[in-house]
Chains A and B, each alone.
Chain A
Amino acid sequence: MSDEGQRLPVTTDQDVVRVRQAVRTFSVAVKLSLVDQTKLVTAASELARNTLVYGGGGEVVVTRVQNERRAGIKIVFADEGPGIVDLTLALTDGYTTGGGLGLGLSGARRLVDEFEIDTEPGKGTTITITKWCR
């Protein structure tokens, strides 16, 4: 079961800030702990920035989700950029093609409960993350 999500475009730096703010609002609403809020907001910041920088812009959808036991937040980051050719490499700590710290993808994966990448060279990248209330 899920509520209707919030859709946010990601085409500017300011949009990345908006994504963080939306994720913060959702996190407070489902009563994530302060640590989990911070982790999710930070993961969202990393992935939204990748959508902007490497994906050439795209879209983020934030949704409140619910299973039998817990509430949570699901966030989808989608772009139609170049895709990721070597996923293992991209997920390696310290690997970057853009002069970053190379910890965005791998770090974001450690910050959430569920992490899924769907990417195809030339087609784009969609990353779905979920964080559940404890």
Chain B
Amino acid sequence: MPLSSDEASRFADLLKEHAESLTARWVELAGASLRGRLSSAELRRQLDDLRKGFEQAMRSGSAHLTDEGSAELRAQLAEISGHRARQGFSATETAVSIFALKDAVLEALGNGDDAGTLRDYVAFSAFVDRAALFTFDSYVQVRESLIADQAEQLLELSTPVVKLWDGVVAVPLVGTLDSARAQVVMERLLQTLVDTGSPYAIIDITGVPAVDTQVAQHVLKTVVAARLMGADCIISGIRPQIAQTIVALGIEFGDIATKASLADALRYVLNKTNRSLNTKRTER
């Protein structure tokens, strides 16, 4: 049952007239469930802002939370919800503190227990319910974007590109190499090649449990891209079971150097660089 514009304006009056006592009572009720994890000064500020938001929405004759007149209130609710999500409050806790407004309003209505007041109250109560559910939705959205951010950070962390030696960078691949990670790995490796001016890159797959054609294709693409930038890639960490599987699958690494371990790969690179130093010397 939506609020009639009459009802809405009566509630706007009520929210204004009893501003102080309403907010005080609301803070008391909501504060109980938040158990002091939010300073009462901050809670008071938040809830008084919200009370004004509700008052404004009612004043504009908003029958629904989705109405134009409630836009400001929705923004406030989303902000509070996002705040709480970041502070680690649960979605329920946030919604419950909105629900508490109903009790505070009911008390302010006092003994006007005629049918009209009751109908008003039920309509207003439904409006507050919507508001609480709205915080629930925006809470979930904020949490999801927080989680996505963290996953992205983890992705970066789990693909470190290290400078192993002068002129040699290495990227140890760990876990499953899906397309998103493969993309990150390639970008970071290429960037590190530029930053360090290294002519060699070692891609170590010791930590990859299964090398399927998708992983192989990602590795091959990375090698080709590195070559275009003038760097030579060595694939290391090919364990016996992986080697046999790669052969059975029919994957060919062509002329790409492959080594059993990272140490072997480094030795191989150092040998090559020594030799080229030596040849240069004899040429002189």
Contact = CB atoms under 8 A, between A and B. Distances in A.
B178 A111 contact: no
B213 A107 contact: yes
B238 to A, nearest CB: 12
B140 interface: no
Interface residues of B, number: 20
A19 B126 CA distance: 46
Given A101-B217, A104-B213, A38 B250 contact: no
Given A17-B176, A107-B250, A38 B217 contact: no
Interface string B169-188: 00000001011000000000
A107 B216 CA distance: 13
B75 interface: no
A33 to B, nearest CB: 8
A1 interface: no
A45 B210 contact: yes
A96 to B, nearest CB: 9
Given A41-B210, A45-B210, A45-B212, A101 B245 contact: no
A101 B251 CA distance: 8
Interface of B: 176, 178-179, 209-214, 216-217, 240-242, 244-245, 248-251
11 contacts: A35-B240, A35-B244, A37-B241, A38-B244, A101-B213, A101-B217, A103-B249, A103-B251, A104-B213, A107-B250, A110-B249
